[in-house]
């Protein structure tokens, strides 16, 4: 059993922080509340939960159509919504967020390997705050024949009555170059089957990628992937 596995099961609460970007000094990262535009993603993901519970992935055409629709709705919310994280100066020239082309090979049906006794963790933010949650389990998947693992956290905050979700923050080899400097997120509505669609095409930036008025959890170092994940949202470069 690795030290990471032990920390998931026993002992006192652990403060998980990045060994790459200090949460006190990063240029900005994830919203202080998982609300607003986040709801667009979770509502769409709920529509896929029934397919995952039947141990199947939605067909490729339906999947791409659903993701494209989510992105359009998100762009509209960013441009006109009351909770848009964009600076006012950017809204008039905003033409939509930038994404990698769809990559079906970075879309996985995976089982959540739950820890028997999830350990309480505290995740640092870019503003020096600390968020409490549980180190709930982990997902394993393969890219180009090599195995990888990401930890899934269940955060204490559950705003808007949407029910619990699994929080999967991560960094990869594109971070700070092609994608946001502090990493990206995947969120998955929790279900009773333990089977999930881990889709990197749905990886998104935190609100702090667009403005500095937010407090955002920094992905723990244990969720750093040593390969480029060229799927999902790219780095925000401002309005045109």
pLDDT of 169-210, one tens digit each? 999 999 999 999 999 999 999 999 999 999 999 999 999 999
Say if 21 falls within a structural domain: yes
Angle (deg, nearest 10), helices 38-53 and 60-80: 160
Q: For 45, list phi and psi in degrees, rounded to 5.
A: -65, -30
Tell me the average pLDDT across 12-39. Answer: 41
Confidence tier at 61 by pLDDT (50, 70, 90)? confident
C-alpha distances out from residue 21 to 6, 168, 196, 235, Å:
25, 17, 29, 17
Contacts (Cβ under 8 Å, ≥6 apart) of 109: 52, 55, 56, 57, 195, 196, 197, 198
Say if 113 falls within a structural domain: yes
- Overall domain count for the chain: 1
pLDDT of residue 14: 59
Under a CB-based contact definition with an 8 Å cutoff, are residues 52 and 195 in contact? Answer: yes
Tell me the average pLDDT across 14-34. Answer: 38
Say if 234 falls within a structural domain: no
Q: 186 or 56: which carries more pLDDT confidence?
A: 186
Tell me the average pLDDT across 103-131. Answer: 93
Say if 58 falls within a structural domain: yes
Pair of tokens at residue 128:
């020096």
Distance CA 161, CA 159 (A): 6
Confidence tier at 126 by pLDDT (50, 70, 90)? confident
Tell me the average pLDDT across 30-58. Answer: 46
Tell me the average pLDDT across 110-114. Answer: 98
Say if 238 falls within a structural domain: no
Distance CA 189, CA 209 (A): 23
Please state the length of the chain.
240
Tell me the average pLDDT across 59-80. Answer: 92
Over 70: is that where the pLDDT of 51 sits? no
Say if 212 falls within a structural domain: yes
Q: 139 or 163: which carries more pLDDT confidence?
A: 139
Tell me the average pLDDT across 103-120. Answer: 97
Q: 217 or 34: which carries more pLDDT confidence?
A: 217
Say if 236 falls within a structural domain: no
Domain containing 172 equals 3-223
Say if 230 falls within a structural domain: no
Over 80: is that where the pLDDT of 110 sits? yes
């Amino acid at each position: 059993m690795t030290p990471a596995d032990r920390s998931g099961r026993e002992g006192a609460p652990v403060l998980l922080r990045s060994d790459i970007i200090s949460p006190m000094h990063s240029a900005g990262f994830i919203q202080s509340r998982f609300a607003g535009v986040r709801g667009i993603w979770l509502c769409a993901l709920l529509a896929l939960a029934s397919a995952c519970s039947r141990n199947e992935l939605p067909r490729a055409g339906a999947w791409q159509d659903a993701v494209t629709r989510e992105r359009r709705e998100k762009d509209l919310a960013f441009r006109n919504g009351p909770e848009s994280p964009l600076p006012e100066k950017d809204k008039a020239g905003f033409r939509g967020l930038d994404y990698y082309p769809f990559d079906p090979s970075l879309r996985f049906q995976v089982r959540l390997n739950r820890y028997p006794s999830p350990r309480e963790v505290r995740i640092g933010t870019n503003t020096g705050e600390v968020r409490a949650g549980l180190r709930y389990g982990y997902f394993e998947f393969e890219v180009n024949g090599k195995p990888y693992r990401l930890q899934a956290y269940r955060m204490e905050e559950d705003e808007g009555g949407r029910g619990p979700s699994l929080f999967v923050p991560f960094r990869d080899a594109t971070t700070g170059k092609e994608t946001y400097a502090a990493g990206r997120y995947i969120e998955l509505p929790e279900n009773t089957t333990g089977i999930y669609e881990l889709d990197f095409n749905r990886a998104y930036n935190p609100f702090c990628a667009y403005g500095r008025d937010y407090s955002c959890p920094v992905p723990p170092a244990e969720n750093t992937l040593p390969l480029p994940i060229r799927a999902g949202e790219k780095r925000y470069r401002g309005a045109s």
